[in-house]
Amino acid sequence: MIRYPITRAKLDAEITAKSATWFADTAAVVASLPATPASSDFKPLWSKVKEVYIELQHSKCCFCEKPLEGNIEQDVEHFRPKAEVRSWKKIPAELVAEGVVVNQPADGSAEDGYTQLPYHPFNYAMSCKTCNSTFKGNLFPIEGTRDSANSDSAAMDGEKPLLIYPLGSIDADPESLIEFDALSPVPKKATGYGRRRALVTISLFRLDDAKKRKSLFKARATLVRLLYAELEGVANASTAAKKAKHQKVVDLLVSPETPFSNCLRSFARLYGSDPVRAEAIADECIKFMKTKSG
């Protein structure tokens, strides 16, 4: 995961440029909701502004950073679920061992959804179907107190969410919490809430599961191997012109536009601090490049 910087004012302006009446239309839907709205009560007006988010995120999934083609492969993910919040029933034992405690009903019942946020610009992010539909669904695990009546997702820190929101700067920068060790994401912090958020985000989306997310590992490996070759090109270039050519590709590979930026940036840092290990990882990448994506 990486952050996609944008201010609320700029985001609102881009939404309005796409659909001049969007804010008025969405406010009217929220004002006429029944007391206990069902999913179908929320008109899918977010599809009108989907392209704003696709562009902002360079058409990458906000959670796994895989590239997404066109409009069809991607979902408008409601970070805080709109109709109901499902209980997270199978919290992995390794998270519990790390001190992750989710504040949710003990009987496993669902909680009220965030009915004031279905059209909040900072409650959306584009996500691949695997991350959104297969793994997240209506989950929204928190450590703090559920604040589902709030209408401003920028003022809900008291919930202490265990997932990370990557648009704008209303949440921590994902790269301050998650980095990569070779092809696997790992928490950056040794202890505390920031570590638990990283662990939950990685675990819930199976971002470190080389079996369930084979295609992620294969794609990360391919790009890391390419980055390694370009970094070596910079280090060993015989002329300034050749060095500059390789550096251009390195800069492109670690830019936010390229899929798996967090992984690639972590590898570039490792190459600077431990080139021997970087070489071993680059060799290991070849194995993943040969796997069937599945």
Paired sense of beta strands 124-128 and 178-181, if any: unpaired
Note whether 105 and 147 are within 8 A (CB): no
The DSSP 8-state label assigned to residue 40 in this structure reads G
Residue 157: both structure tokens together? 């820190």
Query: Considering only residues 11, 68, 100, 128, which one is a binding residue for Zn ion as defined by CB under 5 A?
Result: 128
204 is an interface residue for Zn ion by CB under 5 A: no
Query: Considering only residues 52, 64, 83, 221, which one is a binding residue for Zn ion as defined by CB under 5 A?
Result: 64
Shortest reach from residue 49's CB to Zn ion, in Å: 20
Stretch that binds Zn ion, among 20-28, 53-61, 103-111, 281-289 (CB under 5 A): 53-61
131 is an interface residue for Zn ion by CB under 5 A: yes
Residue 1 or 52: the one with the smaller Cβ distance to Zn ion is: 1
Cross-strand partners of 24: none
Shortest reach from residue 162's CB to Zn ion, in Å: 17
In order of 21, 100, 119, 180, the CA distances from 28 in angstroms are 11, 39, 11, 44
Q: Between vectors from CA 168 to CA 44 and to CA 112, what angle results, nearest 5°? A: 45
Stretch that binds Zn ion, among 29-37, 80-88, 126-134, 248-256 (CB under 5 A): 126-134
d(CA 201, CA 267): 20
Query: Considering only residues 11, 61, 162, 227, which one is a binding residue for Zn ion as defined by CB under 5 A?
Result: 61
83 is an interface residue for Zn ion by CB under 5 A: no
68 is an interface residue for Zn ion by CB under 5 A: no
Shortest reach from residue 222's CB to Zn ion, in Å: 17
Note whether 268 and 214 are within 8 A (CB): no
- Binding stretches for Zn ion (CB under 5 A): 61, 63-64, 128, 131
